[in-house]
Structure 1
């Protein structure tokens, strides 16, 4: 699109890498971090995945489905497992929308509107490419459905296919609702945690924001990845604990929260990993939220 663009490609790429780095430097219950590997994976694989997927996700002018497939293909070649499918599915339309936003400064509202336009144009070819990516990543249970399974050629556009899955998958729901959870719940939690307090600020405000967003999502509704792996009842129980832990953590005086590390959350992390419970969808939503936050205001 001709004219001045709201943020440079370099800034958007840097924001994505920063969000992915915060994903693993922030200890989040049940997720892989630099302090706590788990689920047969370690932090270095996630950082390598971010680097591998970067060029594909921010390929100027590329359709959303192609960005998804290329990012997953490069990630698979780099680390040999599925570390970032959810992140890729979320960031691809967000990155595509950046190609179409107007003059600076970029606002969350303008970006959200542009995402809506991108989603409205997703077609069967986008679905075909995304289906190939999901099958390649091979996440347990994702894409298996009575209608529009990724193991058969699609007959509808990608957004329509995501609508069919939106009640059981939080990432698919973003395609259906125009990323409402991210722009509403996610950004609100991010900027709440990033607002300077009258007491001394935390040492790492980015990690505080990442954890606040993650717990907001995990405590907001059952994590899709947990539902697929362990069933709805267990996922609901994790949501209730997350809600309690989030409320307790938020009551901590800002001066005491100088890092995202928290003894009770650390203990819960070990418990979840011992039971092979991974709130991966909540983490993916948090990464996408921090990416948006760092682009629109340089905060988070």
Structure 2
């Protein structure tokens, strides 16, 4: 298989993961069953299409993929829809480029660890520029190693400084542990359920397991923990093998409530896309 064929497969998997996430009723987020937070599905679709070729660019470094994908997404959608998705998926795509077609989870994760170990100051500078361009809500300023200032440390070291409070940063220092050890097993445990239901299960599972970083940045850790507890209380009440109407009757009130409160569990959605993307890269059952 040529490098161009591999890149095309990675780009296809990225688009498919983004669309599968939009198809599901992910409580508090934008999805085909309801807009929210001033955004619609079309914004995310345009951003995914614009980002895909940069995520899968043959031979490009991780930082370059992030910066180009974010800039293309912003130009296409007119607002930040996918910074977290790009931050997570660019290293996965870089690893998949050398892992061979449909690699095992173990092989992909080994390649991912090598990719993370190889990140340099150039990757950090490109990633910091992308974050600054996207200007995510609630980012604020750091007293040292701020993303808007000169780059003095590597990307993984910078992510390590934020890992305790940010779930996306944590992936860079744990080899994407939450994706491989939580998201993928949860997705695959429901192999007999519809794809939309499996995505809902992964998303609500992330919400119930970890205070959402996006909510914490914008509204504080106390509110993020309260939302996590709400998700944890709802999770055992959902039969993810039930018909759409049954699942959605239980999910929709929480969706409406979160949006009415202006609470967007965006990081849980980002982790969900990364889980779906990883599954597709390894030849999982969601593969298009």
Gaps of 5+ in 1: 197-201
Q: TM-score, normalised by structure 2?
A: 0.94
Matched, 1:136 2:133: yes
Distance 1:227 1:121 in 2: 30
Distance 1:272 1:170 in 2: 20
In the alignment, what sits opposite 1:44? Answer: 42
In the alignment, what sits opposite 2:150? Answer: 153
- CA drift of 1:261 comes to 4.5
In the alignment, what sits opposite 2:20? Answer: 22
In the alignment, what sits opposite 1:189? Answer: 186
- Alpha-carbon contact 2:211-2:221 (below 8 Å) kept: yes
1:221 to 210, 219, 242: 210
1:280 to 258, 263, 266: 266
TM-superposition CA deviations, 1:26-53 (whole Å, max 9, x none): 1111000122111000000001000000
Distance 2:246 2:46 in 1: 23
Pairs aligned (count):
285
Q: TM-score, normalised by structure 1?
A: 0.90
Distance 1:25 1:261 in 2: 14
State the secondary structure of the residue aligned to 2:225.
helix
In the alignment, what sits opposite 1:244? Answer: 233
TM-superposition CA deviations, 1:191-248 (whole Å, max 9, x none): 0122x2xxxxx5xx21111111111111101000000011111111111111121111
- CA drift of 1:160 comes to 0.7
Gaps of 5+ in 2: none
In the alignment, what sits opposite 2:195? Answer: 206
State the secondary structure of the residue aligned to 1:155.
coil
Distance 1:169 1:258 in 2: 32
TM-superposition CA deviations, 1:61-96 (whole Å, max 9, x none): 111110000001101111110000000000010001
Distance 1:253 1:247 in 2: 10
In the alignment, what sits opposite 2:94? Answer: 96
1:270 to 256, 261, 264: 256
State the secondary structure of the residue aligned to 2:205.
helix
In the alignment, what sits opposite 2:77? Answer: 79
Distance verdict in 2 for CA 1:136–1:66, change over 3 Å: same
- Alpha-carbon contact 2:197-2:240 (below 8 Å) kept: no
Matched, 1:230 2:227: no
Distance verdict in 2 for CA 1:99–1:278, change over 3 Å: same
2:105 to 84, 104, 108: 108
2:118 to 109, 121, 127: 121
Distance 1:130 1:4 in 2: 28
Superposition RMSD on alpha carbons, in Å? Answer: 1.8
In the alignment, what sits opposite 1:172? Answer: 169
In the alignment, what sits opposite 2:10? Answer: 12
State the secondary structure of the residue aligned to 2:26.
coil
- Alpha-carbon contact 2:160-2:170 (below 8 Å) kept: yes
